[in-house]
Homo-oligomer: A and B are copies of this chain.
Amino acid sequence: MEDIFQGYKGRALEVLKKFNVRVWGKAIIDTSRGEFQGTVLPRAENDDDTHIVLKIATGYNIGIDIFTIKSMKEVGYYKATYKIPEKEFPYTPNLPNVKLLGTGGTIASRLDYRTGAVIPAFSPGELYGAVPELADICNLTTEKLFAVFSENMGPEQYKALAVAIGKEIENGIDGIIIGHGTDTLSHTAAALTFMVQNPPVPIVLVGSQRSSDRPSSDAALNLMHAAYTAGHSDIAEVMVCMFGPTSDEYGFLHRGTRVRKMHSSYRSTFRTIGDTPLATVNLKDGIKPIKETYNHRRKDRKVKVLPYFEEKVSIVYYYPNMQPDIIDSLVDNGYRGIIIAGTGLGHVNKPLYSAIERAKKKGVHMFMTVQTLWGYAHMYVYDTGRDLMAKGIIPAENMLPETAYIKLGWVLGQTDDPEEVKRLMLTPINDEITLREPYNGYLIYQGGVPEVEEFIRKFRK
Q: Which residues of A contact B (CB under 8 A)?
A: 33, 51, 60, 62-63, 65, 114-115, 149-155, 181-184, 187-188, 245-248, 261-269, 271, 311, 314-315, 317-323, 325-326, 329-330, 332-333, 341-350, 370-378, 380-384, 386, 389-390, 401-402, 405-406, 442-444, 446, 449, 451-452, 454-455, 458-461
**Residues of chain B within 8 A of A332, CB atoms compared:** 329
Judge whether B384 and A263 touch: CB under 8 Å.
no
Contact residues of A: prevailing secondary structure: loop
Partner pick for A346 among B152, B248, B264, B381, CB 8 A cutoff: B264
Judge whether B62 and A184 touch: CB under 8 Å.
no
**Residues of chain B within 8 A of A349, CB atoms compared:** 151-152, 154
Give the CA-CA distance A311 to B318 in the complex, in Å.
14
Judge whether B33 and A264 touch: CB under 8 Å.
no
**Residues of chain B within 8 A of A373, CB atoms compared:** 262
| CB<8 Å pairs between A and B, sample of 16 | A65-B386, A114-B382, A150-B347, A154-B349, A155-B321, A184-B320, A246-B455, A246-B458, A261-B371, A261-B372, A262-B373, A262-B374, A263-B374, A264-B370, A266-B461, A267-B461
Partner pick for A265 among B322, B345, B446, CB 8 A cutoff: B345
Judge whether B442 and A446 touch: CB under 8 Å.
no
State the oligomeric state as a number of copies.
2
Judge whether A455 and B458 touch: CB under 8 Å.
no
Give the CA-CA distance A311 to B184 in the complex, in Å.
31
Closest to A371 in B: B261
Give the CA-CA distance A149 to B154 in the complex, in Å.
38
Given contacts A271-B443, A349-B152, contact A372 B329 (CB under 8 A): no
Known: A151-B320, A261-B371, A451-B452. 8 other contacts (CB 8 A): A151-B349, A183-B343, A187-B319, A248-B460, A261-B343, A269-B375, A317-B317, A317-B401
Closest to A405 in B: B319
